[in-house]
């Protein structure tokens, strides 16, 4: 059976035409797109995607969270569905590949499979998840489908209650329909997503395809270094309990420690505030926001401990008190080992080089980690750029990624 589909490839010209049209919707004129969830451009792209689905003769589906999909039945009533896709929304002034490549390649895979008339044991569904970028709620559509959203979650959208509900109305959704988007575990056989890497690993290594092993987990804290306010002119340097010095020493030491002891991890201090906050007062307090990520749960916990020890050591060194407030924690989401293997084998068959790597960014795939086996495929991002108009992936790499998606789908779904 393998012979019959291992030679099947996507129609690169058809996918290119669709992708070029897609990139013109919400185009910013400098190579980027702005398709913020439920903006005019986003509603326009959704309408266009629907017409593409219907014009190709697929069943169009929309659920209560506004997830749009093309459905190809295998003809077996009780068969579960293999889902694959990504998102058509973007950040403001984002790139034209993020999410869009995953949805366009998903539709192209569906078209290619339909034309091939290969017999399937699973239904196939190419999906565009609503608001992956979290204009309103992070991973909104995929979380709703996975049953992770509650009425409470809907009360605190990033965009504010008023804007969120007016946006829902524009899209014909309500709080109630969103909660109905949940699907049963047994109805979903797996979820696959092709995405641009949004980092430089593949490009730097000259590798065609990244088989994703995990989406990194993270931890975040508010750290407050507490010292004493003093006259910045008359207090000698050695007499100061300078919270700013302690916090700054910590920030520099974080970089050193992560690069030395945690090579697969990253850490970031994204915000710092000194109080009282004047050039002539020694800072009595420095509040900072720390975030760190790792693809490995054990390592994430070691990193957490290491960072807290470091913060205490720097506070001690400068005679400061330290307050630590955990803000969030999320363990890494692991991709299915079977799907990873399937994608790697497909790379071998197609003569493409591949490597296993973790995703530093979040993706819809992680919403489904406790629902079904998940898998992700990365293609190289030129200069690692993303969430910006200069985001770019060579077309050849996009087609390679689509073919690996196609082969992975077939290996999982063909009889
Ligand atoms: Zn994305």
Q: What is the 3-state secondary structure (H, E, C) of 211-244?
A: EEEEECEEEEEEEEEECCCCECCCCCHHHCCCHH
- C-alpha closest to that of 85 among 68, 66, 72: 68
Rounded distance from Cα 133 to ligand 1 centre (Å) = 7
Q: Ligand 1 mean position to 260 CA, how many Å? A: 30
Distance 87 CA to ligand 1 centre (A): 6
Is the CB of residue 40 less than 8 Å from the CB of residue 113?
Answer: no
Q: How far apart are CA 201 and CA 183, in angstroms?
A: 35
The CA–CA distances, whole Å, from 278 to 230, 272, 284, 285 equal: 11, 14, 11, 12
CA of 363 to the centre of ligand 1 (A): 6
- The helix or strand, by DSSP H or E, that contains position 298, with its residue range, turns out to be helix 297-317
Question: How many A from CA of 3 to the centre of ligand 1?
Answer: 33
CA of 188 to the centre of ligand 1 (A): 22
Cα 98 to ligand 1 centroid, rounded to whole Å = 5
Rounded to whole angstroms, how far apart are CA atoms 93 and 114? 35
Instruction: Please count the CA atoms within 13 angstroms of the CA of 332 that sit on its side-chain side.
Output: 23
Distance 196 CA to ligand 1 centre (A): 8
pTM of the model: 0.90
Residue 3: predicted pLDDT: 52
H or E element that contains 188: strand 188-196
Measured in Å, residue 99 CA sits from the centre of ligand 1 at 4
> In degrees, to the nearest 5, what angle opens at C-alpha 236 toward C-alphas 230 and 239?
70
Q: Measure 162 CA to ligand 1 centroid, in angstroms.
A: 26
Ligand 1 center to 58 CA (angstroms)? 24
Q: Is the dihedral angle over the CA atoms 194, 94, 108, 57 positive or is it negative?
A: positive
């185009």: which residue's tokens?
27
Whole-number Å distance, alpha carbon 7 to ligand 1 midpoint, is 29
- The pLDDT, as a whole number, for residue 75 is 95
Taking the centre of ligand 1 as the mean of its atom positions, its distance from the CA of residue 222, in whole angstroms, is 27
Q: Bridge-partner residues for 225, per DSSP?
A: 286, 322
Report how far ligand 1's centroid is from the alpha carbon of 123 (Å). 24
pLDDT, one tens digit for every residue, the chain (415 residues): 445 788 999 999 999 999 999 999 999 999 999 999 999 999 999 999 999 999 999 999 999 999 999 999 999 999 999 999 999 999 999 999 999 999 999 999 999 999 999 999 999 999 999 999 999 998 999 999 999 998 888 988 988 889 999 999 999 999 899 999 999 999 999 999 999 999 999 999 999 999 999 999 999 999 999 999 999 999 999 999 999 999 999 999 999 999 999 999 999 999 999 999 999 999 999 999 999 999 999 999 999 999 999 999 999 999 999 999 999 899 999 999 999 999 999 999 999 999 999 999 999 999 999 999 999 999 999 999 999 999 999 999 999 999 999 999 999 998 7
- The rounded Å distance from CA 132 to ligand 1 centre is 7
How far is the centre of ligand 1, averaged over its atoms, from the C-alpha of 340 (Å)? Answer: 20
How many angstroms does the Cα of residue 302 sit away from the middle of ligand 1? 29
The CA distance from 109 to 344, in Å, is 18
d(CA 213, CA 311) in angstroms, rounded, equals 31
Q: What is the 361 CA–ligand 1 centroid distance (Å)?
A: 8
DSSP-derived pairing of the beta strands 354-359 and 209-215: parallel
Q: Ligand 1 center to residue 217 CA distance, Å?
A: 17
What is the per-residue pLDDT for 1? 47
Whole-number Å distance, alpha carbon 238 to ligand 1 midpoint, is 50
Q: How far is CA 53 from CA 107, 191, 292, in A?
A: 8, 19, 40
| Beta-carbon count within 10 A of 75 CB | 10
Q: State in Å: Cα 224 to ligand 1 middle.
A: 33
For strands 123-128 and 81-86, give the pairing: parallel
Q: How far is the CA of 157 from the centre of ligand 1 (A)?
A: 19
198 Cα: distance to centroid of ligand 1 (angstroms): 9
d(CA 86, ligand 1 centre) in Å: 7
């Amino acid at each position: 059976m393998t012979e019959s589909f291992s030679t099947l490839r996507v129609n690169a010209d058809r996918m290119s035409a669709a992708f070029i049209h897609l990139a013109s919707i919400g185009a910013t004129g400098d190579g980027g797109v702005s398709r913020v969830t439920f903006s005019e451009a986003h509603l326009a792209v959704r309408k266009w995607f629907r017409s593409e689905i219907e014009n190709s003769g697929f069943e169009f589906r929309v659920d209560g969270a506004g997830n749009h999909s093309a459905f190809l039945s295998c003809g077996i009533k009780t068969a579960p569905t293999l889902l694959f896709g990504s998102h058509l929304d973007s950040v403001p002034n984002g790139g034209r590949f993020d999410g869009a490549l995953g949805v366009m390649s998903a539709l192209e895979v569906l078209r290619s499979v339909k034309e091939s008339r290969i017999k399937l044991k699973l239904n196939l569904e190419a999906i565009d998840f609503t608001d992956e970028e979290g204009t309103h709620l992070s991973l909104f559509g995929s979380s709703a489908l996975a049953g992770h959203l509650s009425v409470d979650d809907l009360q605190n959208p990033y965009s504010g209650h008023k804007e969120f509900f007016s946006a829902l109305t524009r899209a014909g959704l309500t709080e109630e329909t969103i909660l109905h988007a949940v699907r049963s575990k047994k109805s979903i056989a797996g979820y696959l997503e092709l995405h641009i890497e949004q980092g430089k690993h593949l490009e730097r290594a000259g590798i065609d395809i990244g088989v994703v092993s995990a989406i990194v987990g993270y931890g975040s804290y508010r750290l407050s270094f507490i010292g004493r306010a003093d006259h910045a002119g008359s207090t000698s340097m050695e007499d100061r309990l300078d919270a700013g010095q302690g916090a700054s020493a910590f920030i520099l030491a974080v970089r050193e420690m992560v690069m030395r002891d945690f090579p697969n991890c990253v850490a970031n201090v994204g915000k710092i505030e000194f109080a009282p906050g004047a050039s002539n007062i020694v800072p009595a307090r420095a509040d900072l926001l720390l975030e760190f990520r790792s693809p490995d749960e054990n390592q994430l916990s070691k990193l957490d401990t290491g960072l807290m020890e470091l913060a205490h050591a720097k506070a001690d060194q400068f005679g400061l008190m330290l307050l630590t407030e955990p803000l969030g924690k999320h363990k890494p989401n692991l991709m299915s080992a079977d799907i990873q293997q399937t994608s790697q084998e497909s790379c071998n068959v197609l003569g493409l080089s591949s490597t296993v790597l973790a995703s530093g960014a979040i993706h819809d795939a992680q919403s489904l980690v406790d629902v079904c086996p998940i898998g992700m495929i990365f293609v190289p991002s030129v200069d690692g750029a993303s969430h910006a108009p200069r985001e770019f992936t060579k077309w050849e790499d996009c087609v390679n990624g689509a073919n690996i998606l196609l082969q992975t789908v077939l290996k999982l779904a063909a009889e």
